[in-house]
Amino acid sequence: MGGVYEEFFGCMPDGREVGAYTLCNQKGMRVKITAYGGALMQIFAPDREGRFRDILCGYDSLDDYRQAGGYQGALIGRWGNRIGGARFTLDGVEYVLGANEDGRNLLHGGHHGFNEKLWTAEMRENSLVLSTLSPHGEEGFPGELRVSVTYTLTEDNQLILDYDAVTDQKTVINLTNHAYFNLGGYASGTVFDHELWLDADSYLETDEMLIPTGRMIPVEGTPFDFRTAKPIGRDIAVDHRDLHIGGGYDHCFNLVGGKQTKPVLRGELYHPASGRLMQILTDQPCIQLYTGNVMTEPVPFKGGYPQQKHHALCLETQTMPDSMHHANFTDATLSPGQRYGTRTIYAFSCR
């Protein structure tokens, strides 16, 4: 039976109650989300034999989400990915941001990003709407930003994420979700056997701190060429400078033709053993591929399963990281009177 169901998930230190919300469709697929950080907690999807398994990493308790790192399943903002030097200049004014990565750079919103917010939840027929207000100056960003993210589970097993925001002052914005997927089930080992296709003809080179240098490197002839589907593990250990820096894939892939007016198919992740297929449709210009290279948190996943390197991967739709420092990168500014709106769809099926 389809619908949206709420349950108590815990309390914040100040006593505020935190809900968890399960979206269900009539085919048996289930998606659970918590209002804390807007985190995707569970995705139960069928294999080719009709057997459902949870394919998303996450935790059993609110305290685990609050204490552990890794941004498991969380909404990321105001800025997904990195900003070099944790500062930028906009219209002649310099803004100093929360330097939460090695005290030098901003990562995923700063010291206290959207992943730590308790979002306001509104249940609809087959959707959950989470909203929040980010005040002017939060983590150093200009403008009061009003944000909502709508999660919808359709009857054809599509999970749709709609991001919306408005500002009262010119600002920068790059929202995404940090879900960690393993289509064999989150407790099934590495993702080296997953086959990935990406509609990307270049990726962003980074420095030793994973900050973009400004160079866009063609994927052809490199381990970063996923234009024909291949196993994640095929080239991940190749002797290549950019793979050494990240300890695997942790790179922004530039999608052919850039930003689109509506979501189009940009990637496919396939698990041959189970038959599960996840297609990524988005209107965003980039996807960050992260292969869980430092997934070594001591906090175990659901059911006590230990975190281990390369046991999941992220496919984060977004704009180019550090774009305010590179004239040739995508524009990520938002002005009063404009609406930030973007859609990403994760479509589940089997082969």
Query: Which residues participate in catalysis according to the annotation?
Result: 178, 316
Residue 323: φ, ψ to 5°:
-65, -25
Q: Give the type of residue at 71.
A: Y
**d(C-alpha 139, C-alpha 78), whole Å:** 9
**d(C-alpha 119, C-alpha 19), whole Å:** 10
Residues 6+ apart with CB under 8 A from 234: none
Q: Is 126 exposed, middle or buried (0-12, 13-18, 19+ CB in 10 A)?
A: middle
Residue 6: φ, ψ to 5°:
-110, 145
Give the CA distances from residue 151 to residues 1, 22, 265, in Å, rounded to whole numbers and listed in that order: 18, 11, 19
Residue that has been written with the tokens 């509506």 in this structure: 262
